[in-house]
Amino acid sequence: MEEAVRPQTVAVESDLAWADDAKLVRACVQGAPEAFQELLARYRKPTLMLAFQMLGNGDDAEDIAQEAFVRVFESIQSFRGQAAFSTWLYRIVTNLCLGRLRNRRFSVPLEDIAEPALPEESSRQVTEGLLTHQVLGRMTPDLRAVLLLREQGALSYQEIAGALSLPVGTVRSRLSKARAAFREIWNELLQGRETEW
């Protein structure tokens, strides 16, 4: 009898892999744990990346990602679907990160944390990654959040507005300021590196 159930489970999981987020959320609300597992599989890496870029610490990013998914699991029944699931998730992650940043007392600044170099990356890619990491660390959390949600999360202005509870005009303004700040800090860091060489 167990063998007869197994192919059916595989078929359900296969169907879920092709389902859109809204269908997976409905399945979660109806009590399908495999639907939540699919959402977790889809969004674990983007959630970790967003949290890492916001906080600059892998352990903190893991904690935030785990806490975000616990919150999603606990409150999925109340998700109204007025925004995309990803927008709702990124809002939770961003708010958790901003809360963590506000509560930090004596910590190492993000720009002082060295990002580990991956052996298969070229020297230029590693340098650009480290510079990007340092630039983000020097930006204010509110500008960093808007920039990361747009550039890394590929969210629309409306989705960012929903994720951060801001008017769309404020999102546009902050994004413009964030891009300008990023360029300015990037250029400062590059000039500093050139004088070191």
Q: Minimal CA–CA distance to 132: which of 109, 150, 115, 156?
A: 115
Q: Minimal CA–CA distance to 182: which of 137, 125, 123?
A: 137
Domain match, 83 and 114 both:
no
> Sign of dihedral through CA atoms 172, 177, 180, 183?
negative
Domain match, 26 and 78 both:
yes
Domain match, 184 and 130 both:
yes
Domain match, 6 and 80 both:
yes
Structure tokens belonging to residue 178: 């964030």
CATH code of 47's domain:
1.10.1740.10
Domain match, 13 and 91 both:
yes
67: pLDDT strictly greater than 80: yes
Top mean pLDDT of 36-40, 113-117, 148-152 is at: 36-40
Domain match, 75 and 117 both:
no
Among the candidates 61, 86, 107, a domain finishes at 107
Burial of 56 (C-beta count, 10 Å sphere; 0-12/13-18/19+)? buried
pLDDT at 126: 59
Domain ranges, residue 152: 110-197
Domain match, 17 and 59 both:
yes
pTM value is 0.69
- Mean pLDDT for the chain overall: 80
